[in-house]
Structure 1
């Protein structure tokens, strides 16, 4: 790309873009995309990252943008997940305040999540609220479920001098034990002795799935199916909890319970439609009377198909969704298992603060219990 496609049409090259034009370009980029990364936008403009970082600071001082780690956001976008009363990019005013380091510097905690548009916004909110309570500065980055990008972000944050890290890993975790700052693994369950020297905080999805089964069994449902995307990082724990729940409820008879794993099959594909249509047939014939579906979008899609087939919900089939991001917005509000996402984010901050203050304290693996929110789809 030889030119920068902006209204003022500056040609990339050795000539540096005028400061006011750069400021307008930054604001235009933020209006179009919501956020920008300093290094990427500097390359787009053909100027140094230091120049763009200085421009962002000027715009932040004017209240036009919010500074975040490695980039910028519009203030309104930042405010959607920032705790009440927290100023974007705020810093501590001096020594002796809670959260200050040995030299009076405000501690900085890095948070890396795979996504900011599903599930994790509440985790981010909880972390920001807890960070504000401790007078910590929290900086955020999004890995996009890319393990390589995640590692780059970790290295960048450490290079920028963060005091600790909260990470939702998208790949192997063993290397986190080698880092020079405390790390808390978030929403990923440790396996055996993996990363034994690192604190963990996560939702107990095994408990959540068992809670859904128990709710349906107590409502008189006997023929349960779990509809799940096995590619989800939490799927194996939901399956484990579902299977344990049906055993505890005495629903082990052959062909009365099953797990339907959709993998990564796309909606409308034969790999998706064939098993889902078989499930609908079983529901119409009374061989299935309840479905637990993860995530919410699968529960919503199932509800649409059941209604298209004139199969009453909850009369003939009860539904419990898992995640409760949008379940309550369905035309028949869906009962849901709601992981305590905000509490997970807050607990992660508490653990990293504890580790900073007490480096030799025992390690923690903290499981936060999800809750059932009973609505119309299960007769609640």
Structure 2
């Protein structure tokens, strides 16, 4: 183990327990007590620990902090931006009361990086993991690895049922099908008889959104509109612009006056391109986004389906700590879904004023 990794391990142990003995930690790391004492001396010279006979104390130990974290929890997510900061904020909001210390690993949708981050966190002594597995690998390939992790795991925004073993892992996610249904139902209540779906199909959320959208269109008796596939690369502005143009061309040709767009990047571009083409939002076309991270700041603030990101983080940590502490009741595995909400802004407007074919502007959709 490299000196930096050893010293990081020492600091984590001190944060968890307030003190450590050099001989015990040396055994845990598989190095000599002399090596540990040398690391402690270096950290003490830097003012990061207090050196004492036989070991070290946390700098906060003399103050007698009653809330020293006692449980190290690992969190591995695909990204530290966009969706996940709110999730992490939710975890942090309850971590102190549970005396938990969160250590983050970011895997970037790479199965190899994901496994590497988990191994590193386990080497640091984490007692549980909140994990968002990459979706680029088949569930049948991911399942054996997940089942082999030796500490309690809660899957975040994922649910895998490839094997019985992995199905028994706790999971918590947003009910994205319900979120899509919320959006379509809202647009139908405003008088829209056709609602387009612009979907980033690469994301793991996409299948749930598609399912909810199609179910809502069927149940509300809306006229079917082909689902438009959107490019996933957020940095390829030209590709997103071209796709937004295609969505608007289809809407104008079919007299569709409402779009549900996943995700925020696509929704913002659709609204902006519509305005550049002389269309008014929401008078000529209504836009609802799915994600609600950026769209409140669009030129026309967009109505959005808002997943419960903060609540997801909070409840994921609570579920995991129950397993780690052995206090979770009932003891059977749990698959929890939290409902998104619809955040109404300016991009939907009132009842539809442009009459679609075969129906009046104020007609309610058929219900079956």
**Is the radius of gyration larger for structure 1 or structure 2?**
2
TM-score range with shorter-chain normalisation?
0.7 to 0.9
- Give 2:123's match in structure 1, choosing from 159, 181, 191: 159
Cα distance in 1, alignment partners of residues 121 and 279 from structure 2: 52
The residue matched to 1:354 in structure 2 has which SS? helix
> Which string of whole-angstrom CA distances, capped at 9 and with x for unpartnered residues, describes residues 305-345 of structure 1?
00011111111111000100011111111000000001001
Cα distance in 2, alignment partners of residues 91 and 347 from structure 1: 30
Displacement of 1:92 in angstroms is 12
CA contact (8 A) 1:112 1:142 kept: yes
Q: What is the match of residue 322 of structure 1?
A: 290
Cα distance in 1, alignment partners of residues 309 and 43 from structure 2: 31
- TM-score (norm: length of structure 1): 0.70
> Which string of whole-angstrom CA distances, capped at 9 and with x for unpartnered residues, describes residues 76-119 of structure 1?
xxxxxxxxxxxxx9899989x7897xxxxx11110111111110
Q: What is the match of residue 230 of structure 1?
A: 201
The residue matched to 2:282 in structure 1 has which SS? coil
The answer to whether structure 1 residue 190 and structure 2 residue 160 are counterparts is yes
Cα distance in 1, alignment partners of residues 257 and 62 from structure 2: 57
- Greater relative CO (CA pairs within 8 A, separation 6+): 2
The answer to whether structure 1 residue 149 and structure 2 residue 113 are counterparts is yes
Q: What is the match of residue 225 of structure 2?
A: 257
The residue matched to 1:233 in structure 2 has which SS? coil
Q: What is the match of residue 29 of structure 1?
A: none
The answer to whether structure 1 residue 245 and structure 2 residue 213 are counterparts is no
Query: How many correspondences in the alignment?
Result: 297
The answer to whether structure 1 residue 335 and structure 2 residue 299 are counterparts is no
Q: What is the match of residue 267 of structure 1?
A: 237
Provide structure 1 residue ranges, at least 5 long, that are not aligned to the other structure.
Answer: 1-15, 17-47, 63-88, 101-105
The residue matched to 1:353 in structure 2 has which SS? helix
Cα distance in 1, alignment partners of residues 132 and 265 from structure 2: 22
CA contact (8 A) 2:143 2:162 kept: no
CA contact (8 A) 2:87 2:312 kept: yes
The answer to whether structure 1 residue 348 and structure 2 residue 316 are counterparts is yes
- Give 1:181's match in structure 2, choosing from 151, 160, 167: 151
Displacement of 1:59 in angstroms is 6.3
Q: What is the match of residue 277 of structure 1?
A: 245
Query: Quick one: structure 1 residues 187 and 54, their matched pair in 2 at CA, closer, same or farther if it must change by over 3 Å?
Result: farther
Cα distance in 2, alignment partners of residues 126 and 54 from structure 1: 37
Displacement of 1:275 in angstroms is 4.8
Q: What is the match of residue 346 of structure 2?
A: 376
Cα distance in 2, alignment partners of residues 90 and 112 from structure 1: 28
Query: Quick one: structure 1 residues 204 and 192, their matched pair in 2 at CA, closer, same or farther if it must change by over 3 Å?
Result: farther
Cα distance in 2, alignment partners of residues 60 and 237 from structure 1: 51
The residue matched to 1:110 in structure 2 has which SS? strand
Query: Quick one: structure 1 residues 234 and 57, their matched pair in 2 at CA, closer, same or farther if it must change by over 3 Å?
Result: farther
Cα distance in 1, alignment partners of residues 345 and 253 from structure 2: 24
Provide structure 2 residue ranges, at least 5 long, that are not aligned to the other structure.
Answer: 4-34, 50-58, 351-368
- TM-score (norm: length of structure 2): 0.73
